Structure 1
Amino acid sequence: MNFNLKEIFTAFMVLFAVIDIIGNIPIIIDLRKKVGHIQSEKASVIAGVIMIIFLFLGEQLLGFIGIDVHSFAVAGAFILFFIALEMILGITLYKEDDDEALNASVFPIAFPLIAGPGSLTTLLSLRAEYSWENILIAILLNVFLIYGVLKTSARIEKMIGQNGIKIIRKIFGVVLLAIAVKLFAANIKMLMA
């Protein structure tokens, strides 16, 4: 086992910023109003399983279609870059349509809100730099945090307020932007070599 606290913390923070569960509290509250009860346990477990499966099989899937991890990491850096811009500038570049007939705990909360294109791309990008044990721990820590936020989203929104949520989104947006630049620089060197 190759445990490294710095890698765990960095992977945790990157995933936390990409998933943006705090920034998604207004969406979660709105879904609760529309569909009633959201199963926090189910949403957290399904999102965690999707991310763990992609952590271990994502590389094989890419190999099957002929894409190497460094190319995917560069593409992931672009996605992180645009997610960061959305967070910092308060704009929406990508909007997923939601169907109220589907179970809100699975869709859109577990996928694509939590385990969406951004987080899956991020996992493979992290896999290019960090050991899988540290990323797995970061995923599990995020799943526990996501569960807590889903369970207490109404109370969190009252405590932090709309302005607090906006400030948190912008701070994590800047952190995510810096991570995207670092990820791009590290992997573009590998592609050019």
Structure 2
Amino acid sequence: MTDDLGRLRQAMTDLAEHGGHADMYERTLRRSRRTQQRTRLATAGATAAAVVTIGGAIAYSSPDRPAPPVIPPATQTPAPSPSPSSAAPSETPTSSPPRSSAPTSHRPQYPDCPSAKTLEELTDLPEDWHFIPSSVSCWHNWATAAPKGPTPGDGIYLFHYRSGTGWRYHSQGSSFRCQDLGITTGNPPFCEMD
């Protein structure tokens, strides 16, 4: 048995002559270059936006900026008004040194006390347990909270705050030694000094 593929071969040859070259390599190469160029432009734009955002944040938080004006509380006594014989104040501005943005007190700044819900997110409490909101207590950069659940318990959860990482779970128990926590001064209510 012989196959008559001659007509099929002739038809394919005729189609190839009318269709031109099917060289997709050049077309693929052009498309790849265009895609790379678009990616570079998008990356450069995103980088420029990030630099502008960070630069703006740094400029906004610069310590060289003058502090905002202090508005005196309403409970202060008003300054005495000038007598009629005194001269009117001059219109020229005085050159006073800019206010320092540093706090006047040398007391360390402590974080705000977190809520019971915030502390619950930092621990893996058993099911149906929660922290009693009124039990949350803070001392410097330490916080404690008493849990409540279906069975009674006598311990507390201890949390510690560090700048950069924020509030973190430290430990739990019914008593703590201050020296073990690195506390050597003060009177924290959750640990005992030796």
User: Shared fold by TM > 0.5?
Assistant: no
State TM-score, norm by structure 2.
0.18
Q: Which has the higher strand share?
A: 2
Larger Rg: 2
Higher relative contact order (CA 8 A, sep 6+): 1
State TM-score, norm by structure 1.
0.18
Q: Which has the higher helix share?
A: 1
